[in-house]
Amino acid sequence: MSDLFTPTAEWRRLPDRYAVVRRLGALLYNVAATIVVTVGVGLFVDWAWAAAAAAAGLAWTTWRVVRAGRWVRSFGYAEREQDLLITHGLWHKQLTAIPYGRMLSVTVESGPIDRAWGFARVELVTASVQSSGSIPGLTASEAAALRDRLITAGEAQALPL
């Protein structure tokens, strides 16, 4: 079954240290959300329910922090002659093939946590929402090189208007 989501190609994986960034992001965002929800429930409902909300929030945060490493290891991309393949997912595996000729734009973005660790995300935009894709966790040099390769391949295989 795994052959369905990883066709024969030279697959590139995300760096292992990107899991630290995912863990840190999950920790910061989920703890902040848990605090807001806990205080809101405590002020407007009851502090006993707030304790339950805090426990649920901390359990969810722990789950996200623990599975970040597996999520990073499940992500991969492959540049083939005619298309870019992106695969990811732990429970719901997904494989997306994006033909170079269908790409409309390639963007590189980086949030505050990603920038602090030297990572960026390459986003591909196509005419279809279903075939758009993104590749997170690339170093700045890898992201720039991938962006340039994708733009070159897209221009070479662009469909005539």
Model confidence over 14-27: pLDDT tens digits? 999 999 999 999 99
143-147: list long-range contacts, CB under 8 Å, 24+ apart: 143/108, 144/108, 146/79, 146/122, 147/106, 147/108, 147/122
Q: How far is CA 34 from the centre of its chain?
A: 22
Residue 32: the pLDDT is: 96
Predicted local confidence at residue 144, as pLDDT: 93
Is the separation of the CB atoms in 88 and 94 below 8 Å? yes
Q: Note the pTM of the prediction, 2 decimals.
A: 0.82
* Whether the predicted pLDDT of 155 surpasses 80: yes
Write 56-63 long-range contacts (CB < 8 A, 24+).
57/30, 57/31, 57/33, 58/34, 60/30, 60/34, 61/26, 61/27, 61/30, 61/31, 61/34
pLDDT value of residue 133: 87
How far apart CA 138 and CA 73 sit, in angstroms, is 13
Higher pLDDT, 10 or 1: 10
Mean pLDDT (whole number) for 103-119: 91
- The model's confidence at residue 127, banded by pLDDT at 50, 70 and 90, is confident
Residue 3 confidence (pLDDT) above 70: no
Given a cut of 60, whether residue 161 has pLDDT beyond it is no
Average pLDDT over residues 26-45: 95
Chain centroid to CA 120: 10
What the block records as the tokens of 143 is: 């992201």
Q: Mean pLDDT across the stretch 62-91?
A: 92
